[in-house]
């Protein structure tokens, strides 16, 4: 757990960039129309308005406090005119207060959504840029559950930072204003006990300060464990949710393997963490509430107890007593800001830590490809993809594959084989530029249009058109062209259903998904096509048909395939094998003849 200064520093790092953002945003101000201005000015303007309103509200509470004295004096003196006048005065203050309260929330929410949109865009950028999301996942735990970070934590961060920040400001200003008032009241009504006057300047202030400081300290001691507990709760909830999502995504396999019981047990195990932590939170919360509830009850009468000797000694009227009680309450309230804000403060700290951790993980992942030793991709391969003296390693540094010479000239067709786990897919990842772990340079021709088809193609949720066009936007390819390639890969019946929205990744059979991936390749027409067991789910005849289709439709394309089937060799000019060499594998035959 970080210290308070670390939390504040982390908050600053997270929050400040928005208020310095130079991108142009649009602000619509009701009937005044729309304005285009830099986002930082929209943010700063809204923040200034929120703060100004908060300060105006404090000014109204000060005015109400003075009104208290006059109003209760009017009641005590049975002064009708004064009573009516004060009622009118109150109505004016109340009307202004209502207006301020409404716009305080409205402008606050406006700022929240602009700030959140900006942060979401930035974090999404950091996460998705240059395959960073993939590297972050490889690097491990510190960036767990990015969905929660981006969807939930940003919202909480913006909301809590504003409410705590503005609340703190309001508490400080209120404190200063009412300490002044209480000080003046202490002079007006000195402390009298048993007929003796004690000349303690500002005794009401000290009574309020000691009372509130004691409350804050005890709250901190009882409630501080909640920081860790809230942090863990969010994590356990997210783990549970992710496990549920995985069941949904793998419903078919779980059903076929009758793995429901195992899944139920696993899910309930995850939920047990949620429960255990929840019980710990309940226990802490109970102790804290015992204290805070008791404290707030005592607070109702405490100022009267402190000020009553002066009242009963006749040092001031009912108005003075009520004003004292109200000022006392304000001082104590603003000092005890942390008491009521304790839980949200704890939650906020947890959010700041998670977001800070996520940003740090994104930075670390971004640095991996630029901190040697790395596997770099140079776009200077003269007509060939080549890896010479490249060592591929696992993310933890363990060596995986030695590549003395792996060269594929443009137009070649090469099959890569080797035992499971020898590093074939990892070799492709290195060529694709997403595997920086290891040492050496992979050279790819400048401007080469490379496409990789994995065994399980990714099909985004949406229309079939979007699925087949990915990674291009739907609409990039004319429907007629999509229909044609679908027909060519043996999926003619789907040409009518391009608008249909579905979880295509779950609905289509494994073989259909692989056909769809080939359709995608035909649409994008790359110069270099890397197929990682991309036909493994198809029967041999269909596999042969797809390879023949590739030759016809993309005659110049270079094809590098990973595959285990011997029948694949006939579609390739040569085979490259990965063989075991001690504890690692190496590319053994750089250019054997076709098997």
Shortest Cβ distance from residue 140 to ligand ATP (Å)?
Answer: 9
Helices then strands, counting H and E runs in the chain, come out as 19, 16
375 binds ligand ATP, rule: CB under 6 A: no
Rounded Cα–Cα distance for residues 189 and 198 (Å): 10
Q: Mask: binding to ligand ATP, 400-419, rule CB under 6 A, as x and -?
A: x-----------------x-
Q: Which stretch binds ligand ATP (CB under 6 A): 245-253, 422-430, 507-515, 550-558?
A: 422-430
Contact 43, 161 (CB under 8 A): no
Tokens 């048909």 sit on residue: 545
420 binds ligand ATP, rule: CB under 6 A: yes
575 binds ligand ATP, rule: CB under 6 A: no
Tokens representing residue 151 in the block: 């969807």
Shortest Cβ distance from residue 548 to ligand ATP (Å)?
Answer: 25
Q: Which of residues 426-485 bind ligand ATP (CB under 6 A)?
A: 426
> Which of 181, 119, 123 lies closest to 155 in space, CA to CA?
119
Q: Mask: binding to ligand ATP, 109-148, rule CB under 6 A, as x and -?
A: -----------------------------x----------
Shortest Cβ distance from residue 329 to ligand ATP (Å)?
Answer: 59
The residue among 356 and 436 lying less far from ligand ATP, judged by its C-beta, is 436
563 binds ligand ATP, rule: CB under 6 A: no
β-strands 24-29, 558-562: how paired? unpaired
Number of residues interacting with ligand ATP: please give it, by CB under 6 A: 12
Rounded Cα–Cα distance for residues 108 and 99 (Å): 14
205 binds ligand ATP, rule: CB under 6 A: no
Q: Mask: binding to ligand ATP, 316-355, rule CB under 6 A, as x and -?
A: ----------------------------------------
Tokens representing residue 149 in the block: 């970070």
Question: What residues are paired with 528 via a beta bridge?
Answer: 450, 558
Backbone angles phi, psi at 564, to 5 degrees: -105, -20
394 binds ligand ATP, rule: CB under 6 A: yes
The residue among 350 and 416 lying less far from ligand ATP, judged by its C-beta, is 416
395 binds ligand ATP, rule: CB under 6 A: yes
DSSP state, residue 492: G
Rounded to the nearest 10 degrees, the angle between the axes of helix 154-188 and helix 203-223 is 150
Contact 309, 156 (CB under 8 A): no
Q: Which of 320, 423, 438, 445 binds ligand ATP (CB under 6 A)?
A: 423
Shortest Cβ distance from residue 420 to ligand ATP (Å)?
Answer: 3
The residue among 138 and 452 lying less far from ligand ATP, judged by its C-beta, is 138
Q: Which is it for the CA torsion 463, 464, 465, 466, positive or negative?
A: positive
Tokens 């998705």 sit on residue: 128
Tokens representing residue 575 in the block: 């085979």
User: Dihedral, CA atoms, 41, 43, 45, 51, nearest 10 degrees?
Assistant: -150
Shortest Cβ distance from residue 434 to ligand ATP (Å)?
Answer: 11
Q: What residues line the site for ligand ATP (CB under 6 A)?
A: 138, 394-395, 400, 418, 420-426
């Amino acid at each position: 757990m970080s210290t308070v200064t670390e939390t504040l520093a982390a908050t600053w790092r997270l929050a400040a960039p928005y208020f310095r953002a130079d991108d142009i945003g649009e602000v619509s101000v009701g009937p005044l129309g729309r304005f285009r201005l830099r986002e930082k000015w929209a943010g700063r303007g809204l923040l200034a308005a929120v703060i100004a309103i908060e300060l105006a509200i404090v000014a109204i509470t000060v005015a109400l406090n003075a009104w208290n004295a006059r109003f209760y004096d009017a009641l005590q003196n049975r002064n009708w005119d004064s009573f009516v006048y004060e009622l009118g005065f109150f109505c004016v203050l109340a009307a202004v207060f209502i207006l301020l309260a409404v716009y305080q929330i409205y402008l606050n929410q406006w700022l929240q959504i602009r700030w959140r949109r900006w942060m979401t865009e930035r974090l999404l950028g950091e996460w998705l840029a240059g395959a960073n999301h993939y590297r972050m996942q490889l690097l491990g735990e510190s960036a767990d559950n990015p969905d929660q970070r981006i969807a939930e934590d940003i919202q909480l961060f913006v909301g809590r930072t504003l409410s705590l920040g503005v609340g703190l400001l309001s508490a400080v200003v209120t404190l200063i204003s009412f300490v002044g008032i209480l000080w003046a009241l202490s002079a007006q009504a000195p402390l009298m006990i048993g007929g003796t006057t004690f000349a303690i300047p500002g005794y009401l202030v000290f009574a309020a300060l000691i009372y509130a400081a004691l409350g804050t300290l005890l709250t901190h001691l009882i409630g501080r464990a909640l920081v860790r507990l809230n942090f863990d709760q969010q994590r356990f909830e997210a783990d549970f949710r992710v496990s549920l999502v995985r069941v949904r995504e793998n419903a078919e396999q779980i059903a076929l393997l009758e793995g429901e019981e195992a899944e139920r047990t696993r899910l309930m195990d995850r939920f047990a963490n949620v429960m255990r932590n929840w019980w710990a939170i309940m226990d802490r919360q109970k102790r804290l509430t015992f204290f805070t509830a008791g404290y707030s009850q005592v607070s109702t009468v405490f100022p009267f107890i402190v000020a009553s000797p002066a009242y009963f000694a006749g040092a001031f009227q009912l108005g003075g007593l009520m004003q004292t009680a109200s000022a006392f309450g304000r001082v104590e309230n603003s000092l005890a800001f942390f008491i009521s804000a304790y839980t949200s403060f704890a939650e906020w700290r947890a959010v700041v830590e998670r977001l800070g951790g996520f940003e740090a993980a994104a930075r670390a992942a971004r640095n991996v490809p630029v901190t040697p030793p790395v596997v770099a991709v140079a776009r200077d391969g003269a007509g060939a993809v080549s890896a010479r003296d490249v060592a591929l390693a696992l993310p933890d540094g363990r060596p995986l594959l030695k590549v003395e010479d792996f060269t594929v000239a443009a137009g070649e067709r090469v099959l890569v084989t080797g035992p499971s786990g020898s590093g074939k897919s990892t070799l492709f990842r290195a060529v694709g530029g997403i595997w920086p772990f290891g040492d050496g340079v992979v050279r790819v021709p400048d401007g080469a249009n490379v496409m990789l088809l994995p065994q399980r193609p990714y099909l985004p949720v949406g229309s079939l058109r979007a699925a087949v066009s990915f990674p291009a936007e739907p609409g990039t390819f004319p429907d007629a062209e999509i229909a044609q390639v679908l027909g060519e890969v043996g999926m003619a019946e789907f040409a009518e259903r391009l608008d249909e929205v579905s979880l295509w990744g779950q609905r289509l059979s494994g073989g259909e998904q692989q056909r769809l991936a080939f359709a995608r390749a035909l649409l994008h027409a790359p110069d270099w096509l890397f197929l990682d067991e991309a036909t493994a789910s198809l029967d041999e005849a269909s596999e042969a048909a797809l390879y023949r289709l590739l030759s016809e439709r993309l005659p110049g394309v270079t094809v590098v395939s990973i595959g285990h089937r011997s029948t694949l060799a006939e579609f390739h000019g040569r085979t490259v094998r990965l063989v075991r060499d001690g504890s690692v594998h190496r590319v053994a035959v750089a250019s054997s003849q076709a098997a």
